[in-house]
Homo-oligomer: A and B are copies of this chain.
Amino acid sequence: MKLLEDRIRKDGLIKEGNILKVDAFLNHQMDVELFDEMGKEFRRLFADRPINKILTIEASGIGIACVVAQSFHVPVVFAKKAKSLNIDGEVFTSKVESFTHKRVYDIIVSKKYLSPDDHVLVIDDFLANGCAVMGLIELINASGATLEGVGIAIEKGFQSGGAMIREKGIHLESLAIVESMDWTTGSIEFRSQE
């Protein structure tokens, strides 16, 4: 998606250690008008899928998921990263290893909000090693719901998550795939997708 690639070139910051900071518009300060354009693009890319629910993970996936959900006219469910006192009853749970925070945590979704009737699109801001997405897919599988696809804002194409998910036959769409980046020069290359 050229709009997103252009925005990454303009406002993204490349840091040592293959870190791409997009907190100016994606995951700390959030440009909701950009999110709306992303939602329309996901709607186009998943037009043939009978999606009735969007699943994401707190925290930075929630904003994108909610705006994208407006294009699909469906509700969002977000997986929580630990047991909250306000979640009662039974939950689906899986484990996720965070690349950003260097730790493993449990994610949970109430059994009330995922069921065999659901056709779910997973939405998240970043795809790197794929652990968060795989954790969400485990929740969907445990519930008996149908995974219709995965929509990602920015995929780090040089990490293993995208290939792993595509090899499973899952319909994965990343609006921008970073092929390589160089923090010393600030240059960034995107994978051609059209």
Within 8 A of B (CB), among A2-31: 15, 19, 21, 23-25, 28-31
Question: A103 to nearest B CB, angstroms?
Answer: 11
Q: How many copies does the complex hold?
A: 2
Chain A: how many interface residues by the 8 Å CB criterion?
A: 43
How far apart are the CA atoms of A113 and B77 in the complex, in Å? 27
Question: A3 to nearest B CB, angstroms?
Answer: 16
In the complex, A160 has a CB within 8 A of chain B: no
Interface hub of A19, A63, A85 (most chain B Cβ within 10 A)? A63
Residue of B whose beta carbon sits closest to that of A114: B29
Within 8 A of B (CB), among A65-84: 65-67, 69-70, 73, 75-78, 80, 84
How far apart are the CA atoms of A29 and B80 in the complex, in Å? 11
How far apart are the CA atoms of A36 and B36 in the complex, in Å? 13
In the complex, A117 has a CB within 8 A of chain B: no
A residues neighboring B (CB under 8 Å): 15, 19, 21, 23-25, 28-33, 35-36, 58-60, 62-67, 69-70, 73, 75-78, 80, 84-88, 100-102, 109-110, 112-113
How far apart are the CA atoms of A162 and B19 in the complex, in Å? 41
B66, B78, B86, B101: the one within 8 Å of A100 (CB):
B86
Question: A178 to nearest B CB, angstroms?
Answer: 15
Contacts of A76 in B (CB 8 A): 29-30, 32, 63
Contact, CB under 8 Å: A85 / B102: yes
How far apart are the CA atoms of A87 and B21 in the complex, in Å? 9
Contact, CB under 8 Å: B87 / A36: no
B25, B29, B88: the one within 8 Å of A21 (CB):
B88
